[in-house]
A and B are shown apart, each in its own frame.
Chain A
Amino acid sequence: MLPELYNYWVVIILMMIGFYIVIVQGNLIKKLIGLNIFQTSVFIFYISVGKVAGGSAPIVAEGVSVYSNPLPHVLILTAIVVGIATMALALALVVRIKNAYGTVEEEELQERDLRC
C-alpha cells in the first residue's frame, strides 16, 4: 500500500511547505510565492491522479492503446490560468500597497495603520 501512495505524499509535503510560507511570511511578495507553491502542488496532485501506469500522452497515435486520463489535464490547464490571473492581480495590489504605505512588510503595515 505504502509505495503506491508515496507520490501523493511528496506532493502533500510540498503543498504544506507552500501553505506554511503563506501563513508565516511577513513579506507580502514572499507570501505570494508561498501561495504559488501551494497552488502548483495541488496541480501536481491532480496530474498524479490522472496518471495511468504504462499510459502515454492523451493524443491519439498509432499503436498506442493506453492513454493517461485527459480530464485532470484539462482541469489543471484551467486552474493554472486561474492561478496566474490571481497572481497578476495580487502583485498589482502589492505594487499599490508599496506605493501607498512605502513598505511590503506586514508588521510595518499594521504599525503605520495604527499610527494614523
Chain B
Amino acid sequence: MLAGIYGLLSASFFVSMDAVDVAFTEAAVGAGVFPLLMLTALTVAGRYEQTAHRRPRAAFFLVLVTGALLILGTLDMPPFGSPDAPAHTHVAARYIQASPTEIGIPNMVTSVLADYRAFDTLGEVVVVFTAVVGVLILLTSGEQRQQSSPANAVETMRSHMILRVVSKMLIPLMLLFALYVQFHGEYGPGGGFQAGVIFAAAIILYAMLFGLAKAQAAIKPSILRLLAAFGVLLYGGVGVVSFLTGVNYLDYSRLAADPVAGRHIGILVIELGVGITVAAAMILIFYAFAGYATGRVEAE
C-alpha cells in the first residue's frame, strides 16, 4: 500500500516537472502494476518478518561514499532548470524545433519515442516480452492448477456483490479509455504502453472479482501468448517493411507517398504493437502469479 502511495507521489512529482507522459506511466506502473504484483507475491510469500540486519555499518559507509560521490558529481552540473544547459541545447533542441514539421505530431515525447529513438522502444517492448517469458518459465508447471480455481472463484463472486455491479460498469469504460489512450498518444500524453497497462488493468479487475478461471475462460492464456509474441513481431515487422521500401530499419518515411503521412502510419502501427504486447504481457504475468498462488493454497 505504501508502495502505491510512493508511486502516486513520484507521479505527481513528474507532473510538476512537466513530464506528463512519464507521470502517466509512473501512475499506471507505480501505483497500479507494482503494488498489485507485490500483493500477489506477498500472499504467496507470507509477510512475517525478522529484524536481522547484516553488517549495517559497512553498508552505511558504502552508501555514504556513493552518495558523496554523487553529490560531488552534481557540483559541476548545470543549475537546475537552466535553459541553456547542454542537455537542452544540443540534441533535444532539434526535437523541439523540428519534430512538429518532420513528424507532424504535436506530442514531442511520442515523436522521439516512436520515431527518432524508435529502436529503444523496440528494445523496451522486447524487455517486457523477456520478462513475461521469464515469469512464465518460472511459474508455470502445467497440470493441476486449472481445476482448483473454480471453487475459489465462486466464493469471490458472492462476497463482493456491490463491487461486482460497480465494476461491471467500470470495466467497459476502462477498456474504452485504454483505446482512447492508445490512439490519442500523438496529441496528448499516452500511447501504447499506457494503453496496454490500462487494458490489462481492466481484465485483471475482472479476474479479481469474478475469479481467475472465468477470466481465463474469457481470455485464454494461450491466445495471450500468441498476442504477446505478435506485438513484438508487428513492431519488428514495420522495420522489415522499411527494408523492403529501400530505407533503413524503422524508417517510416516511405510507408506512404508523403513522408510525414508515412511516419504517421508507422507510429500508429508500432504503438499498436507496443499496446498489444504490453496488455497481453501484464495479463499473463497476473495469471501466472494468481494461478501459482491459488494452486499453492489448494495444495496445502
Contact = CB atoms under 8 A, between A and B. Distances in A.
B45 A104 contact: yes
Given A68-B17, A70-B95, A94-B41, A51 B80 contact: yes
A48 B10 contact: no
B175 to A, nearest CB: 21
Interface in A82-116: 82-89, 91-96, 98-99, 104-108
B151 interface: no
A105 B29 contact: no
B289 A92 contact: yes
A5 B52 CA distance: 37
B50 A27 contact: yes
A94 B139 CA distance: 11
A92 B92 contact: no
A77 B41 CA distance: 25
B5 interface: no
Interface stretch (B32-40, B216-224, B230-238, B261-269): B32-40
Interface in B10-26: 10, 13-14, 17-22, 25-26
Contact of B139 (A74, A96, A104): A96
A27 to B, nearest CB: 6
B20 A57 contact: yes
B96 A105 contact: no
Contact of A80 (B25, B45, B106): B25
Contacts of B128: 81, 85
B6 A23 contact: no
Nearest to A65: B96
Given A66-B83, A92-B138, A20 B59 contact: yes
For this complex, into which size category does the number of interface residues on chain A fall? 35 or more
A84 B135 CA distance: 12
B127 A81 contact: yes
A84 B25 CA distance: 11
A29 B38 contact: yes
B46 A92 contact: no
Given A58-B18, A99-B296, A104-B45, A53 B131 contact: no
A74 to B, nearest CB: 5
A36 to B, nearest CB: 7
Interface in B268-300: 285, 288-289, 292, 296
Given A43-B22, A85-B130, A93 B6 contact: no
A36 B17 contact: no
Contact of A43 (B10, B37, B59, B121): B10
B74 interface: yes
Contacts of B92: 69-71
Contact of B285 (A15, A86, A88): A88
A85 B131 contact: yes
Nearest to B42: A29
Contacts of A36: 3, 34
Contact of A59 (B46, B108, B121, B139): B108
B17 A50 contact: yes
Contacts of B138: 89, 92-93, 95-96
B19 A57 contact: yes
B67 A71 contact: no
Contacts of A37: 6
Contacts of A86: 131
Contacts of B19: 47, 50, 57, 68, 72-73, 76
- State the 6 A-B residue pairs at the shortest beta-carbon distance, nearest first: A4-B79, A85-B131, A53-B81, A60-B106, A68-B18, A23-B59
Given A51-B81, A77-B21, 6 more contacts: A4-B80, A16-B64, A24-B56, A71-B87, A73-B19, A80-B25
11 contacts: A60-B107, A69-B88, A70-B96, A70-B109, A71-B92, A73-B19, A80-B26, A82-B124, A88-B134, A92-B134, A92-B288
